[in-house]
Chain A
């Protein structure tokens, strides 16, 4: 069965630090990988990755996919307290309509 594994499970950093969150996936076929940020309730969309080696960037956040090694990373530079959240990685298998989520990485940024 397709599986998404995120690491670390939790992380505490200080403002200004750079963090790297990991997402590895074991899937029979690949279509896309997505990153979401969940603060209190609704996960909010960050990135969708379909091609290997192409970095997606939005402000201080960036993400890249390695389809050969079956993982993705989410980088956050110059972290702020507002980055404190659970970061979820999800895989969208072809031939289905569902996303398979990992358990998330809980990031806490201290002032």
Chain B
């Protein structure tokens, strides 16, 4: 499979727990994005990497969210002290001119 791969596909966690998601981009893509999508809404930008450098981060992103892309390959998104409002689909995308999305990780905070 040469597309964008995200793991896990689903995650259920208790409020207050930390969670980490992984994204493996298309191998030749140096641009990597994280988005969040809730029901009935379009994807909302969270952060952007070019290779290993995090070049842009949404002002809406709280300090509980952190993302890394060591060595410019895969990326991780960590959410600390999860809240019910964090429940959403977390989408990763990679690309050159246009972005190609993974299947997403659906997070449910109970």
Enumerate chain A interface residues (CB-CB to B < 8 A).
Answer: 4, 34, 36, 41-45, 48, 88, 90, 96-104
Q: Given A41-B103, A97-B31, A98-B45, does the pair A48, B55 have CB atoms closer than 8 Å?
A: no
Q: Tell me if B48 counts as interface (CB < 8 A to partner A).
A: yes
Q: List 6 A-B contacts (CB under 8 A).
A: A34-B98, A97-B31, A98-B45, A98-B58, A99-B45, A101-B43
Smallest Cβ distance from B5 to chain A, in angstroms? 11
| Contact of A100 with B45 in the complex, beta carbons under 8 Å | yes
Could you say which residues of chain A place their CB within 8 Å of the CB of B4?
42
Partner of B50, one of A44, A45, A97: A97
Main secondary structure on A side of the interface with B: strand
Could you say which residues of chain B place their CB within 8 Å of the CB of A48?
97-98
Q: Which B-chain residue is minimally distant from A90 (CB atoms)?
A: B42
Could you say which residues of chain A place their CB within 8 Å of the CB of B41?
103-104
Known: A45-B98, A97-B50. 17 other contacts (CB 8 A): A4-B42, A34-B98, A36-B101, A41-B104, A42-B101, A42-B104, A43-B43, A43-B91, A48-B97, A88-B42, A88-B43, A97-B33, A98-B33, A98-B48, A98-B58, A101-B42, A101-B44
Q: How far is the CA of A111 from the CA of B85 in the complex (A)?
A: 38
| Smallest CB-CB A-B distances: 5 pairs | A101-B42, A98-B45, A97-B48, A42-B101, A41-B103
Q: How far is the CA of A103 from the CA of B44 in the complex (A)?
A: 10
Q: Tell me if B26 counts as interface (CB < 8 A to partner A).
A: no
Enumerate chain B interface residues (CB-CB to A < 8 A).
Answer: 4, 31, 33, 40-45, 48, 50, 55-56, 58, 89, 91, 97-104
Q: How far is the CA of A103 from the CA of B40 in the complex (A)?
A: 7
Could you say which residues of chain A place their CB within 8 Å of the CB of B56?
96-98
Could you say which residues of chain A place their CB within 8 Å of the CB of B48?
97-98
Could you say which residues of chain A place their CB within 8 Å of the CB of B99?
45, 99
Q: How far is the CA of A102 from the CA of B98 in the complex (A)?
A: 17
Q: Given A97-B33, A98-B33, does the pair A103, B42 have CB atoms closer than 8 Å?
A: yes
Could you say which residues of chain A place their CB within 8 Å of the CB of B89?
41
| Contact of B103 with A42 in the complex, beta carbons under 8 Å | yes
